[in-house]
């Protein structure tokens, strides 16, 4: 039995993969260590969605490789998206790596740790029959806070967005059954999890491959009945797939968070067409207004890409004006990453990096003013809050999250009561917002 260290990079979907691999290894008697320098076997679960994530993955692998010389590490295993995408390059350039597992070789981690030879993935070389999807019977160990958990409801994607490599890395869409998801969520609730966040590449496509109409809405209705769960949220919504039934289910439940995370990517019709997204500023405006009018108090989060090939100054102005008009509660902005093996990689009229960065900065500065004003409007109001524990800002503060703050991607609420020692991770209290900080809120617990 080995002492194993895990380094998980990238998105929550990758985190779930890491937790499944850890669960499989612990079921075999292996021991997990939080200190990489203490590990006999190191596993780096990588990301390769954009250039920055590839760079981080490579740097992390190199740092882990040094522990084979300076630490107790005897074996280094690389898994995840970078492994699926660049197995040959990892094999030839990173000789310290002992095993390479792609995104559909999750269960092979047990064999890799035991030293048995594992065939590295080919270049996206998995048939449909080989595509992996965990279920409620698969061992899984939460490595984050024990009061919140992600639940992957589907894997892969059938969309053909021209900038995205995920369908090649992860394969076609395949959904878990509602029964399997409900069983896993029920078990998590029994373990003390109070908040679950449903994730997939596009949660609103959930169940379409199984012939289920309104799959996400039906799933949410089933999850709403689980005792112990307080908040249910879902991320990554596709614009055209928000049905009337989904809206009705959200409104009818006290557990489902009024929170919509919908990556719109742009507002210019020309750029959206080139992205293979469809729609235009007018259609997106109607859709957003429909959601806001149908779900009172909804928090709307989105992401945009600037610097996409062919993006003109007028395209960016339209995007900037659209964001100013819509006043999104949360807005993330990415500078386009020109990824090989995507359709967009072959497009001409690349936007200069300095221009793209300038547009990124301008859009974020505009959003900062919008977010600051929206946060100031919360001062004096009271909200339920999920207590997370001691703040990273100060030992004298406790932090928590509102329904409008998704884990890891939004800000937090800092609590500065004199009796913060009475607050415990995973409990729900009521907070009154007293101040607005640059990214976070400050408040006091209502007795």
Q: What are the domain boundaries of the chain?
A: 3-123, 270-277+301-377, 382-445
Q: Among 61, 110, 111, which residue's Cα sits nearest to residue 81?
A: 61
CA dihedral 8, 9, 13, 15 (to 10 degrees): 20
Residue 212 has pLDDT above 60, yes or no: yes
Among 136-145, 317-326, 342-351, 417-426, the range scoring the smallest mean pLDDT is 417-426
Average pLDDT of span 204-223? 96
Q: What is the DSSP string of 328-383?
A: -SEEEEEE----TTSGGGG-SSPPPHHHHHHHHHHHHHHHHHHHHHHHHTTTT-EE
Confidence of residue 125 (pLDDT cuts 50, 70, 90): low
pLDDT of residue 68: 86
The whole-chain average pLDDT of the chain stands at 93
Residue 362, burial from CB neighbour count under 10 angstroms (0-12, 13-18, 19+): middle
Fold classification of 270-277+301-377 is Transcription Regulator spoIIAA (3.30.750)
| 408 C-beta neighbours (distance < 10 Å), count | 14
Q: How far is residue 47's CA from residue 253's CA, in Å, rounded to a whole number?
A: 35
Fold classification of 3-123 is Rossmann fold (3.40.50)
Residue 231 has pLDDT above 70, yes or no: yes
- The DSSP 8-state label assigned to residue 243 in this structure reads -
Average pLDDT of span 65-85? 90
pLDDT tens-digit readout, 93-109:
999 999 999 999 999 99
Among 64-73, 75-84, 165-174, the range scoring the smallest mean pLDDT is 64-73
Residue 419 has pLDDT above 80, yes or no: no
Confidence of residue 418 (pLDDT cuts 50, 70, 90): low
Q: Which tops the pLDDT comparison, 121 or 59? A: 59
Among 188-202, 302-316, 320-334, 386-400, the range scoring the smallest mean pLDDT is 386-400
Average pLDDT of span 263-278? 96
Average pLDDT of span 259-272? 97
| CATH architecture, range 382-445 | Beta Barrel (2.40)
Structure tokens at 90: 């990892």
Residue 129 has pLDDT above 60, yes or no: no
pLDDT of residue 101: 94
Confidence of residue 128 (pLDDT cuts 50, 70, 90): low
pLDDT of residue 123: 62
Residue 244 has pLDDT above 80, yes or no: yes
Q: How far is residue 59's CA from residue 66's CA, in Å, rounded to a whole number?
A: 11
Q: Which tops the pLDDT comparison, 272 or 124? A: 272
Q: How far is residue 195's CA from residue 256's CA, in Å, rounded to a whole number?
A: 10
pTM of the shown model = 0.94
Residue 126 has pLDDT above 60, yes or no: no
């Amino acid at each position: 039995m080995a002492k194993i260290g895990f380094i998980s990079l990238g998105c929550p979907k990758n985190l779930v993969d890491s937790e499944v691999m850890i669960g499989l290894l612990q079921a075999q008697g292996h021991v997990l260590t939080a200190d990489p320098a203490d590990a006999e076997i190191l596993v780096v679960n990588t990301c390769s969605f954009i250039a920055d994530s590839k760079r981080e993955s490579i740097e992390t692998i190199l740092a882990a490789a040094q522990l084979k010389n300076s630490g107790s590490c005897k074996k280094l295993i690389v898994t995840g998206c970078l492994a699926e995408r660049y197995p040959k390059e990892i094999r030839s350039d990173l000789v310290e790596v002992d095993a390479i597992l792609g995104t559909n070789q999750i269960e092979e981690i047990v064999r890799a740790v035991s030293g048995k030879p594992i065939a590295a993935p080919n270049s996206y070389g998995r048939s449909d029959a080989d595509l992996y999807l965990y279920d409620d019977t698969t061992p899984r160990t939460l490595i984050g806070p024990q009061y919140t958990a992600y639940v992957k409801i589907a894997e892969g994607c059938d969309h053909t967005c021209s900038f995205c490599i995920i369908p090649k890395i992860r394969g076609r869409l395949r959904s878990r059954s509602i029964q399997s998801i409900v069983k896993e969520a029920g078990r998590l609730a029994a373990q003390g999890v109070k908040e679950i966040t449903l994730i997939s590449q596009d949660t609103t496509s959930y169940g379409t491959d199984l012939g289920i109409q309104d799959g996400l809405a039906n799933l949410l209705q089933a999850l709403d009945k689980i005792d112990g769960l307080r908040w249910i949220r879902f991320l990554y919504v596709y614009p055209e797939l928000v049905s009337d039934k989904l809206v009705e289910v959200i409104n009818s439940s006290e557990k489902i968070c009024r929170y919509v995370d919908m990556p719109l990517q742009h507002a210019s019709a020309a750029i959206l067409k080139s992205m293979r997204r469809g729609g235009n500023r007018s259609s997106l405006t109607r859709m957003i207004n429909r959601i806001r009018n149908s779900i009172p108090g909804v928090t709307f989060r989105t992401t945009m890409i600037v610097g996409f090939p062919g993006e003109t100054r007028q395209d960016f102005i339209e995007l900037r004006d659209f964001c100013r008009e819509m006043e999104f509660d949360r807005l993330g902005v990415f500078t386009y990453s020109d990824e090989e093996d995507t359709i967009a990689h072959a497009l001409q009229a690349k936007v200069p990096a300095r221009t793209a960065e300038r547009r990124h900065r301008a859009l974020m500065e505009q959003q900062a003013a919008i977010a600051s004003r929206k946060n100031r409007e919360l001062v004096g109001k009271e909200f339920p809050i999920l207590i997370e524990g001691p703040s990273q800002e100060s030992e004298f503060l406790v932090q928590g999250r509102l329904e409008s703050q998704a884990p890891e991607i939004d800000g937090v609420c800092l609590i500065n009561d004199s009796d913060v020692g009475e607050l415990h991770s995973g409990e729900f209290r009521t907070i009154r917002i007293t101040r607005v900080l640059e990214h976070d809120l400050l408040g006091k617990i209502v007795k």
